[in-house]
Amino acid sequence: MGFPLAIGLVVVLGSLLVLWARSDREATSAPRVGDHWHSAYDVYVCDDFRSKIVIETDPNGIHTHSDGIIHIHPFNKLASGQDATMGQFFNAFGGRIDDDSVVLDTGEALLAGADCNGQPTVVKVGRFDADDMERDPEVLTEDLANVRFLKDREAFTVALVPADVEPPAPRPERLTFLDVVNPRALTSDPSAPVPTTGE
């Protein structure tokens, strides 16, 4: 009996060690606490762009300064590595993004299925490379809250469009500001409370 129990214990401890190592690696993968990345973003509904998000609260380190830029500099593990996501950005200002809806800082809820020139809409996120805008974007339609920020100088369009319409690139002025943003001139308050936004 001792030998099978010892083997079982080794298997259990080995599995726990693998899970712990994977969790720790994901928590410390980029962006890490202390990194400072920037991504341009835009919100596009049917055939029109929406205004910039103006709420700047930032409990964990992913926020905007009313400038059309997502500032990604994690204060803690809640916004680093695998947790540096589009959902974290929306949650910071009291909004929400999922596969069926987007809630903006104004409280406006954009719902999949809404009419766009006679066609129902779906929620999509287009990921662009700000340094190579000629490259085709990655278009995501599932698990949108967990869309990760993968590197500095990405560009995103959160879009509510018909299924056969691709998200357009963010407006040129967003990309222009991305080129001139100075991280040392922009500050945020990690202790600011998260606002609540009704649907």
Copy the structure tokens of residue 25: 């690696």
Note the pLDDT of residue 3.
Answer: 66
| Spatial CA neighbour of 156 closest among 110, 148, 164 | 148
Note the pLDDT of residue 152.
Answer: 94
How confident is the model over 155-177, as pLDDT tens digits? 999 999 999 999 999 999 999 98
Q: Mean of the per-residue pLDDT values for the chain?
A: 86
Which of the four pLDDT bands, split at 50, 70 and 90, describes residue 7? confident
Which of the four pLDDT bands, split at 50, 70 and 90, describes residue 192? very low
Least confident of 95-104, 136-145, 188-197: 188-197
- pLDDT > 90: percent of the chain: 71
Task: Give the Cα separation of 158 and 168 in Å (integer).
Answer: 9
How confident is the model over 8-22, as pLDDT tens digits? 776 777 666 655 545
- Does 85 score more than 60 pLDDT? yes
Which of the four pLDDT bands, split at 50, 70 and 90, describes residue 5? confident
Task: Give the Cα separation of 102 and 161 in Å (integer).
Answer: 12
End-to-end C-alpha distance for the chain, whole angstroms? 60
Task: Give the Cα separation of 140 and 39 in Å (integer).
Answer: 17
Task: Give the Cα separation of 142 and 140 in Å (integer).
Answer: 6
Cβ neighbours around 147 below 10 Å, total: 19
Q: What is the pTM of this model?
A: 0.79
Copy the structure tokens of residue 34: 């202390």
User: Average pLDDT, stretch 74-89?
Assistant: 95
Integer CA distances (angstroms), 106 to 7, 61, 101, in order: 58, 21, 14
User: Average pLDDT, stretch 41-58?
Assistant: 96
